[in-house]
Structure 1
């Protein structure tokens, strides 16, 4: 689900390859937590049957777990393209080629999974969106952390605004889980879905990816950097939530939203504020952009989820300094999140979990942890991660060895 810190190919003719950096257990643990959270959201119910109120799972996890995945994807892209010192020249070209191939493989895998999903799917597949995230990140791989954080701030505002003002003009898509058939029959609708109108639209999500790239350009082994991630993330999340609620309830925004659509009732608005809209957020008023409801992709919701993600990454890195052994189960899951997330989607496609969701969740998490620990001890990299690297690695090495145009032989 993300670019792994696999080390760099040869830096070019006549240059020695850099050594692959030791894995950061904290990053794997954060990725594992995101996987656990998204499994909880997919399997457990949204509300309690007796009261109709949202479950603890729905209060804590929706919207933030995909954002954390996207943030960590950006961090992985940074680590695989040089870390604190971005690659240059032929080495960066090789890194970009590898990322482009990885994006193509994720797109193919995502479209294949789309064929397995029923018409009313139990989950929406994020892999096809990751393919677009990776491609959009290619031009900015060489930037430093300041420029990347600035780009993330721009995307945080511009992406949601484009979604609000332009989304209705784009063609409607027919499936939340596209397939190869969709790619052929609805290419423009699919492009609009991946960029703006889908569940995890790439342009708003670019804020997470760019912020993750910036984080990956920092020295993540330093304690002060880890603490700053926690503090900045917490301040960003709390500020976004407080300002949003102040505008919504202390001002007259709630009333404006209620009367922005004559067909909208107070009950429907309350449901939307709790669970999110069915489909995309209404565009009847620009005041919809102040919400922090899960998956609405407004500036405030993106800022909230980005802050939560930064705080989680910083906290996991801090915990890993002294308690790495206690993080091993969730870190092992995070180290092979592509394999486990794919297996999770395949399991969901059979729709077996509706009868006993809590039992199925416990079984899924237990099997995932046991498999991840056993496989990592025996083979290291996860099955799909190994297969993807088997394709990407030779491409990177081949590009790295190719002489630059016009160079002397």
Structure 2
């Protein structure tokens, strides 16, 4: 959420200037931010009694966060050579920069983890993903495709085998809350939660960054690349989701899992559509046949990655359209997308202020979401028009430059 698309050399294409940034990438990041805010502030089920999924749950749950992670990979690819990966010694310097930037993100996430808030904060997991992807930054497209395919297929199986063993430990190796500074005193439980037993399992989620690296290593300036991303991502997303639903509803998967849970009346059908977090996915290989949001199965990873890639392609196409009509159509989204770390942090802090408290008189959940989203859009537009970095983006950028050795004092 902190990576800013690097500047491109100004040139002309068909008589029109090419923008200094790939505005579509920032717009997609802004869309992901607004989507995550929606899942935080608006109900994903109709009520506790009637667990019928809402359109918010059906649209954004699992997909907005995955889009963030895929865009992290895109940003890392763009900052490490685009379609020509950096090689040593530049690659080593870039890795140091990414590592220091990850530490900044982790520090922010651990600080937010001390707040009392009913949100699953992604920042510490996000930072660990940055560190885990370092070995892949020098790879080309073929290698990345092989690794991404293997990781998407294999990591859910390994996690399925390891997770019960971690949860059976005494005490269980699971935090049950957002990672905070205090959890550094129990590193084993912290790492187990981050990688396998927590809300955003890094072990499987590394797949998203690998997919993002693949997208970022493409020549995004070519005319057909956004179209391929939009069409290809949509096809993968539909096929994965269709296969998951078929496995659950037509091949007997849901019936087998309901029998395993042995909880009459439990709305497993609704949960499979919105969020599988909180259910111990063990005791049956049928869990791996689901495409449920936040299940981190192969089909879930394929579906959400496909959605993310399609959204990126659509945003890049809108950026092309904006250049053609000479109107900045993406400004509201790209402004927020250029400073997501700062905006996300403020969003979480504000939400924590209402934890276990009623909304102010006259406010509704819809109104609260509109206030957060509108504030993010307005602040983002001001910053991008003034060519300012967000405060936390500035800090992360400085850490990145320090890691690359670009902050050396001048010699007189």
TM-score normalized with structure 2 length:
0.88
Q: Aligned to 1:223, what secondary structure does the other structure show?
A: coil
Q: 1:147: which partner in 2? A: 143
Q: 1:345: which partner in 2? A: 348
Tell me: CA distance 1:166–1:400, structure 2 relative to 1, closer, same or farther (3 Å). farther
Aligned pair partner of 2:121 in 125, 149, 155: 125
Aligned pair partner of 1:334 in 334, 337, 345: 337
Distance 1:155 1:89 in 2: 26
Distance 1:108 1:60 in 2: 31
Distance 1:317 1:309 in 2: 12
Deviates more, 1:244-253 or 1:230-239: 244-253
Q: 2:273: which partner in 1? A: 274
1:220-277 deviations in Å (ceiling 9; x for gaps): 111211111111101111111111122222212222222224x232534234323434
1:22 aligned onto 2:20: yes
Distance 2:403 2:249 in 1: 54
Q: 2:180: which partner in 1? A: 179
Deviation of residue 82 (structure 1)?
0.9
Deviation of residue 149 (structure 1)?
1.9
Distance 1:40 1:391 in 2: 31
Q: Is the CA contact 1:111–1:178 (under 8 Å) kept in the aligned structure 2?
A: yes
1:393 aligned onto 2:401: yes
Within-5 A mapping of 1:93-104: 93-104=92-103
1:372 aligned onto 2:380: yes
Relative to total residues, which structure has the larger helix share, 1 or 2?
A: 1
Aligned length: 384
Distance 2:380 2:101 in 1: 22
1:59-94 deviations in Å (ceiling 9; x for gaps): 100100110000000011111111111111111111
Within-5 A mapping of 1:55-66: 55-66=54-65
1:360 aligned onto 2:358: no
Distance 2:264 2:298 in 1: 25
Q: Is the CA contact 2:74–2:216 (under 8 Å) kept in the aligned structure 1?
A: yes
Q: Is the CA contact 2:7–2:21 (under 8 Å) kept in the aligned structure 1?
A: no
1:269-303 deviations in Å (ceiling 9; x for gaps): 23432343452442110011111221111111111
Gaps of 5+ in 2: 9-18, 167-171
Q: Is the CA contact 1:7–1:80 (under 8 Å) kept in the aligned structure 2?
A: no
Deviation of residue 391 (structure 1)?
2.6
Q: Is the CA contact 1:240–1:301 (under 8 Å) kept in the aligned structure 2?
A: yes
Q: 1:92: which partner in 2? A: 91
1:340-369 deviations in Å (ceiling 9; x for gaps): 111111111112686321111111111111
Distance 2:318 2:339 in 1: 20
Q: Is the CA contact 1:94–1:399 (under 8 Å) kept in the aligned structure 2?
A: no
Q: Is the CA contact 2:105–2:396 (under 8 Å) kept in the aligned structure 1?
A: no
**RMSD between aligned residues:** 2.1
Distance 1:95 1:42 in 2: 34
Q: Aligned to 1:326, what secondary structure does the other structure show?
A: coil
Distance 1:25 1:285 in 2: 45
Deviation of residue 133 (structure 1)?
0.7
Distance 1:334 1:357 in 2: 23
Gaps of 5+ in 1: 9-20, 402-409
Distance 1:259 1:48 in 2: 25
Q: Aligned to 2:5, what secondary structure does the other structure show?
A: coil
Deviation of residue 379 (structure 1)?
4.0
Q: 1:302: which partner in 2? A: 301
Q: Is the CA contact 2:5–2:26 (under 8 Å) kept in the aligned structure 1?
A: no
Distance 1:231 1:354 in 2: 44
